[in-house]
Amino acid sequence: MGPVLLALVLAVLAWGLVVGDLVRRHSPVWHWYLVRYPATACRVVCTWRKVAQLNDLSVSRRPPRGLLGDLVVKGDPLRPVAPRISFPRATRMGLTVIVRLHAGQTPATFLKAADAFVHAWKVHAVRVTSPERGIVLLTATAMDPLQRPGLATAPAELLSALIGVLESGGAWVMNLRLVPHWLIAGATRSGKSTLLARLITQLAPQPVALVGIDCKGGMELGLFAGRLSALATCRREAVAVLSALMVDMQERMSACRSAGVRSIWELPDKLRPVPVVVIVDEIAELYLSDGTRESKAEAEQCSTLLLRLAQLGAALGLHLVVAGQRVGSDLGPGVTALRAQLGGRICHRVNDPGTAEMTLGDLNKDAVAVAQSITAEERGVAVCTSPDGGWSRARSHLTPTEEAVATARKYVAIVPELPALDSALTAPEGDDK
């Protein structure tokens, strides 16, 4: 019976390994809950005191003193005491741990120790936030969600685009109905252009007018000219396009006023004008001036028109997505005023702290620090805001240029006509319409 029992045990173990591997590949969430979470939770509990001590998260207690006659007797020597933590709570793709800070501690020291938590707990990433005073929330992500892009799905909705995956494993969605205007910052090869391509491919099949402003000669947005209702490739053309959109805005206001409503979404379907998404690539090119009177006038016009579009466009179905490598107050007060109107924020790796501060600083200081920690190898990784006012690390889906161009050409036939833009520009070169 001994050899038979041993063979049976080995067979059961082998079968368990096979089943476990199948579950890991085809249902990673269940594999996390059943296998990896218990092991990771034990690892967190067992290593917490040592990790806290090595990363200066512990506080040394003063030894007790007693009086024996006329002598002062000291108690035990100094002993480091780690902050108290809750038992790790499982999430869909990781776990969370609540840390109660000692008096005088700040979340900054825990933010610096994030990499140490990653290595000690053998997880993909650890995010440090402070939901309330005296509390730090450690959110560990077990695996890189981008390795399983099929995990993130989102319902099809007008003006909604599935951009990528959040660090929690959920869908990263840009919903222009909820957050009408967006600011996207990112250095060269950080993933900014890939994100814009993804946004266009997601909006291309929808009954939405896309307007591009690319003052780099149309090198980026010109690839999708066939699906664009208008494309401005220099600042003079940008002024013409934005001015035409102001005319369209006035017509939309008149329609709403005549119908007695405050938004185009309250109009009947037959009377509702088509939504417009204006995509600006490299915002600095619109604000920089060479010092000449004409250049200054054009820059001021662009600043004023963009600000009016951002202030009044949300209820009228006019949406703004502004992207740039550098977004700083040195571009002028108009940029700061425009930034205040762009509720959605996405910050990739940037070359200067000022851009990260301009993008996220007015929302959350922790988000600024996390954005500045993104490395050059993490292309597509960004810090993004959510409609509820929070923020998260996320990664956009890689959309090859060929796929994005093919998608734009596929939906050339449904490009909406905007009468106000017809006379603003001649058809862009290479337009397939």
- Mean pLDDT, all residues of the chain: 84
User: Is there a contact between 190 and 201 (Cβ–Cβ < 8 Å)?
Assistant: no
Quote the CA–CA distance of 210 and 231 in Å, as a whole number: 9
Quote the CA–CA distance of 21 and 34 in Å, as a whole number: 12
pLDDT at 298 over 80: yes
327 versus 318: the higher-pLDDT residue is: 318
Residue ranges of the chain that CATH labels 3.30.980.40: 47-60+78-143
35 versus 168: the higher-pLDDT residue is: 35
CB environment 160-187: b (16+ within 10 A), e (fewer) = bbbbbbbbbbbbbbbebeebbbbbbbbb
313 versus 79: the higher-pLDDT residue is: 313
Identity (one letter) of the amino acid at 376? A
Long-range contacts of 113-119 (CB under 8 A, 24+ apart): 113/51, 113/55, 113/57, 116/51, 116/54, 116/55, 117/51
The predicted pLDDT at position 65 comes to: 58
| pLDDT band of 321, cuts 50, 70, 90 | very high
Q: Compute the residue count for the chain.
A: 433
The reply to whether 192 sits in an annotated binding site is: yes
The reply to whether 191 sits in an annotated binding site is: yes
Cα torsion angle, 275, 157, 342, 328, sign: negative
Percent of the chain clearing pLDDT 70 (strictly above): 84
The reply to whether 49 sits in an annotated binding site is: no
The predicted pLDDT at position 8 comes to: 59
The reply to whether 60 sits in an annotated binding site is: no
The reply to whether 187 sits in an annotated binding site is: yes
pLDDT at 286 over 70: yes
SS3 string of the chain? Answer: CHHHHHHHHHHHHHHHHHHHHHHHHHCHHHHHHHHHHHHHHHHHHHHHHHHHHHCCCCEEECCCEEEECCEEEECCCCEEECCEECCCEECCCEEEEEEECCCCCCHHHHHHCHHHHHHHHCCCEEEEEEEECCEEEEEEECCCHHHCHHHCCCCCCCCEEEEEEECCCCEEEEECCCCCEEEEECCCCCCHHHHHHHHHHHHCCCCCEEEEEECCCCCCHHHHHHHCCEEECCHHHHHHHHHHHHHHHHHHHHHHHHHCCCCHHHCCCCCCCCCEEEEEECCHHHHCCCCCHHHHHHHHHHHHHHHHHHHHCHHHCEEEEEEECCCCHHHCHHHHHHHHHCCEEEECCCCCHHHHHHHHCCCCHHHHHHHHCCCCCCCCEEEEECCCCCEEEEEECCCCHHHHHHHHHHCHHHCCCCHHHHCCCCCCCCCCC
The reply to whether 188 sits in an annotated binding site is: yes
User: Is there a contact between 113 and 369 (Cβ–Cβ < 8 Å)?
Assistant: no
Fold of 47-60+78-143: Threonyl-tRNA Synthetase; Chain A, domain 2 (3.30.980)
CATH H-level, domain 145-422: superfamily: P-loop containing nucleotide triphosphate hydrolases (3.40.50.300)
Neighbours of 294 (CB within 10 A): 11
Reported as a single tens digit per residue, the pLDDT across 373-412 is 898 888 889 999 988 778 888 888 888 888 899 999 999 9
The predicted pLDDT at position 32 comes to: 78
| Helix axis angle, 365-372 to 353-360, nearest 10° | 140
Quote the CA–CA distance of 37 and 142 in Å, as a whole number: 9
